[in-house]
Amino acid sequence: MTSHDTAAAGAGAAPTPVGTGTGVTAFADLLDQPLTRYVPGNSPRSTVALLEKELGITTVGQLLDHSPRRYIRRGKIQALTELVAGERTSFVARVESSSTRRMRSDPRRSLTDVTVADDTGASLKITFFNAYSAQKDLPVGSLALFTGKPEFYRGTLSMAGADYAPVEAPESLERSEDGELLPIPVYPETAKLTTPRIAKVVHQVLVTADLDSLADPLPPEVVAAEKLVPPGQAYRDLHRPESVAAYEAAQRRFRFQEAFVLQTELRRRRAEHAAHPVAPRPVVEDGLLARFDASLPFELTPRQREVGEQISAELAGTAPMNRLLQGDVGSGKTVVALRAMLQIVDAGGQAAMLAPTEVLATQHHEKITRALGPLAMPGRLGGDDHATEVTLLTGSMGATARRKALLDIASGAAGIVVGTHALIQEAVQFADLGLAVVDEQHRFGVEQRDALRDKAGTSPHTLVMTATPIPRTVAMTVFGDLDVSTLRELPGGRQPIETHVVGLAEHGPAWERRVWQLAAEHIANGHQVYVVAPKIGDDAAVPSFTSLRESLEADPEEPEPATVAWLEELVTARPELRGARVGVLHGRQDAQVKARTMADVAAGTVDVLVATTVIEVGVDVPNATLMVVVDPERFGISQLHQLRGRIGRGEHASTCLLVTRTLPEHPARTRLDAVAATTDGFELAEVDLRLRKEGDILGASQSGGRSGLRWVGVLRDEALVARARTAAEAVITEDPQLTAHPDLRVAIGRVLDEDRQAFLERG
Ligand code: ADP
Ligand code: MG
């Protein structure tokens, strides 16, 4: 496993470099060359073979894009004092001594013990089994990059074997002109593919390939404005930097390039969408929209009006709208969406509202029907003469109701259709679908969009609503082909919600008594209280503890998660809450029971509702003013925020208590404190991003796969992405097909494998 060539060794038999003498090579020509052209020697154990097997790297471009994950760049050579037993590491050190001895078990073979040391005075013994090479390559006084795994042996750290790459010409390499130690790249490694092995192959490519001939996919004016280094130099400086500034400039080039290529593609798609015109649906005088506005019991907020006007203008035009409407729970998105739907109906079209679940679809249907009143009662007593049918279509409807719904949708009698996403996948025929409103974008992927296009013959206008605030950079990168509107403030004189973390582990039982007393006070004032548990639990297995605190004393380390079943008993038994009417709501109940309970809560005949997160969506009881979340550490930030959105919906001041049995130093406490510190969903979304890995956000939760972003950090690079977006816009406006930008087209093609195509079309 030892590499005995120096990293600086020549490439041996040099191939004919592609592009030599031709001036400029098309961007992809060089990068798509097979690695084997530049690095001969194809034994199954060769580094090239391993690169393919372990990292899937077969081309020059893939290798050059395998960028160092960090650089060794400290002022002193390396702190050997920081090595950890069992942890693979890379470090630079100088050979202090070297001695070769015969192996006791096999006297025909030799071992070489090399002791290396660094400026800290610490040293490490490395035993090499290929004595000959080690002796030759690592003379006393030489400097090398080592990679290996130190282990404890007889009480001291030592290493059995190591990959190494002598750092040649130490005098010149140690310090650059400005006195800085030259950075040494450390690659993402596998057990066999260590940094020195990768570095060696990279070096062979760097010296043989004509990188300076590499065409730049970025337009020259963008390169100039951003002061970017040329791509060939960037690759060189990434892998063999002469200074920290050099690799930083290289990283900046690739970061900007990635953002720009992505933004260009997103803009190109938008331009393409816009090129397929739809029927204009201008506002009609004295139509449903005007009548609905006249009947609204409240004033639209300035922002609702502003967003509404923008949407209205887009619906009146011929370019399909693609808009993301984001706003906190209760910020009034539904009203905005409903007004858009009414404009479409007024113009003779149909609007569909798609919800992620049947329960939500049913709730939307009820809400819309209620909000429209006479406007949703066509041909009925008391109905408006402009009224339209609001039709619900779900999978669990009876056959007769279903047939009627399908008929109304096909005939156009149903102006507004509410259903789950299945609505667009089933054999549903619309007379004239003009607008699709999608609630919650996360589950609305590329297939749904295609299906929607099929329904409408062309892309209908699309309005995607989300209550999960999306930080700006994510919106720009992931949803870059959507325009984004944001409702930031909550409408209508709502009282702010006060949130407190109640840590039962550090506070005495008095704090818990105070929680239940507060609940009693809210009830005494005629309000309702939600108590939320992370689990449903089993009536038969309810613990006998009559307080949360008691359960904690029984098992301070890892208390069982609280259940609805247990908290129902606990709440009922609490002396503070004697006489309170307790209801229960969770996902295992059937729909009728749930509906009845919710009606009771709304009617005020239930004082305390013990529930799971089923109340997270859709429950709207303005009279509920206290929420007690038990074991809140079991929820994510956005989930807690959504939950909390169930209170503070009326004109009364509301309180949310996060009652945790975790110890104060529990990592989840940071999350809880963040939720307590602000009710601004956007701020929380950013905290959430920061606390999780950025990759997780884009990767798992939003793209459903890998994010495709290698260089751009969604938090760090907001400004850069914004600039890339502006630059991309300018290019696409001038040249929508990128006819004059062949290398940019190629770069897009290289970046967008199938995964990413799907990723881009999400939303
Ligand atoms: P979202 O869909 O963003 O969660 P909704 O549209 O459901 O929010 O609005 C939440 C509540 O606020 C509803 O009861 C709605 O009628 C009410 N509401 C919406 N806009 C206003 C406004 N401008 N003034 C007062 N109340 C409003
Ligand atoms: Mg809503």
Q: Which residues are within 8 A (CB) of 90 and not within 5 positions of it... i.e. 6 or more apart? A: 72, 145, 146, 147, 186, 194, 195
Taking alpha carbons only, the member of 681, 326, 585 closest to residue 479 is: 326
Instruction: State the DSSP code for 39.
Output: S
| Nearest atom (ligand 1) to Cα of 645 | 4
Contact criterion met (CB below 8 Å) for 127 and 113: yes
Minimum CA distance residue for ligand 1 atom 19: 332
**CB of residue 61 inside a 6 A radius of ligand 1:** no
Quick: pLDDT tens for 485-515. 888 777 766 677 899 999 998 887 899 999 9
**CB of residue 208 inside a 6 A radius of ligand 1:** no
**CB of residue 301 inside a 6 A radius of ligand 1:** yes
pLDDT at 706 over 50: no
Q: Ligand 2 center to residue 337 CA distance, Å?
A: 9
Alpha-carbon gap, residue 253 to 399, rounded angstroms? 60
Mind listing the domains of the chain with CATH numbers? 26-70+193-259 (no CATH), 74-182 (2.40.50.140), 288-316+332-466 (3.40.50.300), 497-678 (3.40.50.300)
Strands 163-166 and 143-148: antiparallel
Q: According to the per-residue pLDDT averaged within each range, which of 187-191, 474-478, 609-613 is highest?
A: 609-613
Alpha-carbon gap, residue 424 to 440, rounded angstroms? 15
For residues 44-53, average pLDDT: 84
Please state the φ and ψ torsions of residue 179, each to the nearest 5 degrees.
80, 10
On average, the pLDDT of the chain sits at: 83
Minimum CA distance residue for ligand 1 atom 27: 491
Please state the φ and ψ torsions of residue 391, each to the nearest 5 degrees.
-110, 135
CA distances to 69, 174, 211, 417 from 660, in Å: 38, 54, 58, 43
For residues 55-78, average pLDDT: 80
Test site for ligand 1: of 306, 307, 329, 335, most ligand atoms within 8 A of the Cβ: 335
Residue with tokens 């906190």: 328
CA distances to 32, 265, 651 from 756, in Å: 19, 11, 46
pLDDT at 681: 80
CA within 13 Å, CB half, 474: 25
pLDDT at 747: 87
Minimum CA distance residue for ligand 1 atom 21: 491
Higher pLDDT, 531 or 690: 531
Quick: pLDDT tens for 293-346. 999 999 999 999 999 999 999 999 998 898 889 887 778 999 999 999 999 999
Alpha-carbon gap, residue 126 to 149, rounded angstroms? 10
Residue with tokens 């950890």: 84
Alpha-carbon gap, residue 4 to 132, rounded angstroms? 10
Where does the pLDDT of residue 8 fall: very low under 50, low under 70, confident under 90, or very high at 90 and above?
A: very low
Quick: pLDDT tens for 634-665. 998 888 988 998 898 778 889 999 999 998 88
pLDDT at 645: 85
Q: How much is the pTM?
A: 0.62
Q: Ligand 1 center to residue 304 CA distance, Å?
A: 10
**CB of residue 650 inside a 6 A radius of ligand 1:** no
Taking alpha carbons only, the member of 193, 194, 87 closest to residue 144 is: 194
Closest ligand to residue 297's CA: 1
Beta-bridge mates of residue 353: 418, 437
pLDDT at 709 over 80: no
Apex 297 CA angle, 293 and 302, nearest 5: 65
Q: Ligand 1 center to residue 393 CA distance, Å?
A: 24
Quick: pLDDT tens for 348-399. 999 999 988 888 889 899 999 999 999 999 988 888 988 999 999 988 888 8
Helix (H) or strand (E) segment spanning residue 437: strand 433-439
Count the neighbouring beta carbons within 10 Å of the beta carbon of residue 478: 25
Higher pLDDT, 445 or 38: 38
In a 10 Å sphere around its CB, with 0-12 CB exposed, 13-18 middle and 19+ buried, how is residue 575 labelled? Answer: exposed
Minimum CA distance residue for ligand 1 atom 17: 332
pLDDT at 480 over 50: yes
Q: Which residues are within 8 A (CB) of 649 and not within 5 positions of it... i.e. 6 or more apart? A: 330, 494, 620, 621, 622, 624
